[in-house]
Structure 1
Amino acid sequence: MDDISTGILFALLACLIVISGYFSGSETGMMSLNRYRLKHLSNSGHKGAKRVEKLLNRPDRLIGLILIGNNLVNILASAIATIIGMRLYGDMGVAIATGALTLVILVFSEVTPKTLAALYPERVSFTSSILLMILMKLMAPLVMFVNFITNGFIRLLGIRVDHNSDDHLSSEELRTVVNEAGGLIPRRHQDMLLSILDLEHVTVNDIMVPRNEISAIDINDDWKSISRQLTHSPHGRIVLYRDHVDEVVGMLRLREAYRLMLEKNEFNKETLLRAADEVYFIPEGTPLNVQLLKFQRNKQRIGLVVDEYGDIIGLVTLEDILEEIVGEFTTSIAPSLAEEITPQGDGSFLIEGSANIRDINKGLKWKLPTSGPRTLNGLILEHLEHIPESQLSVVVSSHPMEIVELEENRIKLVRVYPRRKK
């Protein structure tokens, strides 16, 4: 070293600092990459992404390579800085060189390159991967030897070394990804994706048409009454039963009934029953994602929901499930949320008692409980634990509510105020 001039040592020290910065920035850039975007770019044929993905398949070797190179460079830089310090300042030069080199490495070899790599991980990683691939081949024996010792020590600590990283996302993690997409995905599409994720948390009980609202025809009624109901029915399919709804005999497509009416053959109850399709039953509590697959597998579009005793409690159609994903259809027969909720000048809302709680929460951004009753009427009755005989005021889930109108044994209209601030 005595034969090497101080100027050359300074130049060599500067090169080592740059190399140290390269290794530090490469490490941060590689670890900061979005693995899913990287996989997408690699599948699209991006050469830089393919190189990086290959390096990241064995992160222990990649980190080992970077740290070996970084430590060798820093140790050599420390030795050169010490020589320069002693030449310029004698014995005091050791302390001066140590302090100065620490500051220089911290700023130019650690903080600055790592900050840039964190801000632009793809640019840094794709570029640095060219040299890293070469170094990985040249230093493979040394890297494997160091990793062998390291992995062995880790096993002694009782930690399992597994190089197969689990990159699978849970539904909640995927929900966060969709929410963070921002302008990359239109808001409407984000809502649809989130609705698909919600299907596993929503059951047929939450969206079904309740038993008392099912459009059905008693096949034992007189023929004129049956014909009138067929003519005026707004639905495409109608339930046929005997005496009471639990005695279902078939599901009739009105298009088929109209075809029979136009034919010259006799149109009566017997032909109507023969034209009816077999009824498809759905167990209560079935998640919507499961039921959607069952509809597809069984080539069905409509089904009757039954409880554990086999009694019919509601009706669900394929369109009901699709509406959970894409929103209400303009052709829907059921009342829309806008028809069930009327804003008032004082900030309150007049809401139909039959309004679905989940729909209210969606439309007004509220957090009424959905684990129990599915309608506002049911929620209030559960809170009161009795059927009110007159108008009264209650507070449910911090929402002041006034019962405005009662009809028989149910609450028909409620005035609901926004949630009280605690």
Structure 2
Amino acid sequence: MNDIPLSVLFGTLVFLLMVSAFFSGAETALMTLNRYRLLHLVKKGHAGALRAQKLLKRPDRFIGVVLLGNNFANVLISSMTTVITLRLDGGESGLAIAAGIVTLLILIFSEVAPKTLAAMHPDRLAFGSSIIILPLLKLCYPIVWIVNAIANLLLRIIGFNASGETYSALSKEELRTVVAEAGAMIPDRYQNMLLSVLDLESASVEDIMVPRNEIIGIDLDDPLDVIIDQITNSRHTRLPVFRKDIDKVFGVLHLRKALICMGQQRLSKESLIQSLIKPYFVTENMPLHQLLINFRRDEVRIGLVVDEYGDVQGLVTVEDLMREIIGEITTNSLEVRKQSDDSYLVDASVGLRELNRATGWGLPTEGPKTLNGLLTDYLETIPEAGTSIKLFGHQLEITAMDKKAIREVRVYPNKPES
């Protein structure tokens, strides 16, 4: 060592610091890689991603070779520091000072800086470092195997399996967080759609159905001219057909068939009955994702919702399902009107899920499904117009009643508490 110039020794010391920094950064970069982005790149055939995936399949071996190289470099740094200090005749005090300086250099340049950089840009550093680490793993495999065998044995003794899965699939709530935190990568309208799809499992048919008292259908007991006028002016393409009561439903009429009969001057109640589609029934507590599967499997677009006694409680269509996923298609379909004083006039028959989606108020949806039902359930009586209450942080005033139901509610803006 005495024949080696000091410049070479210092150069070697700097090189060893760089080697230590390389292994530290590679370890952080590969361990912080986004696994789902990595899988996406692997499917596209990205060479760096393929190498990284190969290393991460056995993280014990990868960590073994990284720590082997890192510790080997750090030991050589300590030895090189001792040699340089002795060449400079530093003595014992010089060795202590040199050890402190080298420890600080390792901490800054070989640990903190490279690991911080790797955490900020894991893809770039992981894919690049894998070019060196993969062949190094093959070269040092016997040593790595022995080290890993001993380490894995210790892990098994304390109840861990080092060869198991290194990460698990995302749960629904974790996936919701990923979508919600995607930021500018996913536009707001697509974020809302994706979150709505994830919510299909937690919502039921009862949450989106048209209630029984709002079902528009054809009563065969009505005169034929009334039925024709209803068909001509209907806003819907499919109408349930019944006699006196919706529970006595015959089927569903596609208005296109009725209009064809009208054009051929052969429309009658008998021809209407012959044109009916068999009614499709669903339960009110069926999850929406199951309803979507059933509609697609059975190729239907409309279903009558029944309770446990078989009585019709409402009606649900494919359009209702699509509205739950993508929101309102038209701007005036939801009766929520903002006033000049920043309050809102709300149609009390609106569904709470729909209202929350439009306003972001966060009203509870576990119990009653409409604003009218929520207020009536809270008050435990049929209120009068002018009644004001504070409910879930919102000041509400019942502005209009319709017989035994609340028709309209004014919601005042929240005022900060003094």
Q: Shorter-normalised TM-score: what interval?
A: over 0.9
Question: Which residue in 1 is equivalent to 2:345?
Answer: 350
The alpha-carbon deviation at position 223 of structure 1 amounts to: 2.9
The alpha-carbon deviation at position 364 of structure 1 amounts to: 1.9
Question: Which residue in 2 is equivalent to 1:360?
Answer: 355
Is 1:57–1:163's contact at 8 Å kept on the other side of the alignment? no
Given residue 75 of structure 2, which amino acid in structure 1 is its aligned partner? I
Superposed, 1:185-264 pairs within 5 Å as 185-263=186-264
Question: Which residue in 2 is equivalent to 1:401?
Answer: 396
State the alpha-carbon separation in 1 of the partners of residues 357 and 128 from structure 2: 47
The 3-state SS of whatever aligns with 2:201 is: helix
State the alpha-carbon separation in 2 of the partners of residues 121 and 401 from structure 1: 51
Question: Which residue in 2 is equivalent to 1:70?
Answer: 70
Return 5+ residue gaps in structure 1 as ranges. Answer: none
Is 1:85–1:96's contact at 8 Å kept on the other side of the alignment? no
Superposed, 1:262-411 pairs within 5 Å as 262-263=263-264, 266-330=266-330, 336-337=333-334, 340-411=335-406
State the alpha-carbon separation in 2 of the partners of residues 29 and 18 from structure 1: 16
Given residue 255 of structure 1, which amino acid in structure 2 is its aligned partner? R
State the alpha-carbon separation in 2 of the partners of residues 12 and 87 from structure 1: 15
The alpha-carbon deviation at position 221 of structure 1 amounts to: 3.0
Moved more, 4-13 or 126-135: 4-13
The alpha-carbon deviation at position 19 of structure 1 amounts to: 0.9
Return 5+ residue gaps in structure 2 as ranges. Answer: none
Is 1:306–1:313's contact at 8 Å kept on the other side of the alignment? yes
| Two-structure CA RMSD over aligned residues (Å) | 1.9
Moved more, 144-153 or 171-180: 171-180
The alpha-carbon deviation at position 390 of structure 1 amounts to: 4.7
The alpha-carbon deviation at position 239 of structure 1 amounts to: 0.8
Question: Which residue in 2 is equivalent to 1:124?
Answer: 125
Given residue 225 of structure 2, which amino acid in structure 1 is its aligned partner? K
State the alpha-carbon separation in 2 of the partners of residues 158 and 406 from structure 1: 66
The 3-state SS of whatever aligns with 1:229 is: helix
Given residue 221 of structure 1, which amino acid in structure 2 is its aligned partner? D
State the alpha-carbon separation in 2 of the partners of residues 125 and 382 from structure 1: 58
The alpha-carbon deviation at position 362 of structure 1 amounts to: 1.8
Given residue 286 of structure 2, which amino acid in structure 1 is its aligned partner? T
Question: Which residue in 1 is equivalent to 2:51?
Answer: 51
Is 1:61–1:143's contact at 8 Å kept on the other side of the alignment? yes
Question: Which residue in 2 is equivalent to 1:152?
Answer: 153
The 3-state SS of whatever aligns with 1:91 is: helix
State the alpha-carbon separation in 2 of the partners of residues 110 and 392 from structure 1: 66
Is 1:353–1:377's contact at 8 Å kept on the other side of the alignment? yes
State the alpha-carbon separation in 2 of the partners of residues 401 and 185 from structure 1: 35
Identity %: 49
Q: Summarize deviations over 1:82-108 as a string: whole Å, max 9, x none.
A: 222233212223312211210111111
State the alpha-carbon separation in 2 of the partners of residues 164 and 19 from structure 1: 30
The alpha-carbon deviation at position 243 of structure 1 amounts to: 2.3
Moved more, 406-415 or 186-195: 186-195
Q: Summarize deviations over 1:320-358 as a string: whole Å, max 9, x none.
A: 11112222234x9xx612xx2222222222212212222
Count of aligned pairs between the two proteins: 416
State the alpha-carbon separation in 2 of the partners of residues 117 and 123 from structure 1: 8
Q: Summarize deviations over 1:379-413 as a string: whole Å, max 9, x none.
A: 11111101124532222212222111112111112
Is 1:86–1:92's contact at 8 Å kept on the other side of the alignment? no
State the alpha-carbon separation in 2 of the partners of residues 142 and 391 from structure 1: 83
Moved more, 179-188 or 375-384: 179-188
Question: Which residue in 2 is equivalent to 1:29?
Answer: 29
Is 1:84–1:97's contact at 8 Å kept on the other side of the alignment? no
Q: TM-score, normalised by structure 1?
A: 0.93
State the alpha-carbon separation in 1 of the partners of residues 374 and 189 from structure 2: 30
Q: Summarize deviations over 1:132-156 as a string: whole Å, max 9, x none.
A: 1110110011111110000000111
Q: Summarize deviations over 1:266-319 as a string: whole Å, max 9, x none.
A: 532222111101000011121211111111000000001111111111111001
Q: TM-score, normalised by structure 2?
A: 0.94
Question: Which residue in 1 is equivalent to 2:95?
Answer: 94
The 3-state SS of whatever aligns with 1:22 is: helix
Question: Which residue in 1 is equivalent to 2:139?
Answer: 138
Change in CA separation of 1:98 and 1:421 when aligned onto 2, cut-off 3 Å: same
Given residue 299 of structure 1, which amino acid in structure 2 is its aligned partner? E
Is 1:211–1:312's contact at 8 Å kept on the other side of the alignment? yes
Structure 1 consecutive aligned stretches of length 4 or more whose deviation exceeds 6 Å: none
Question: Which residue in 1 is equivalent to 2:113?
Answer: 112
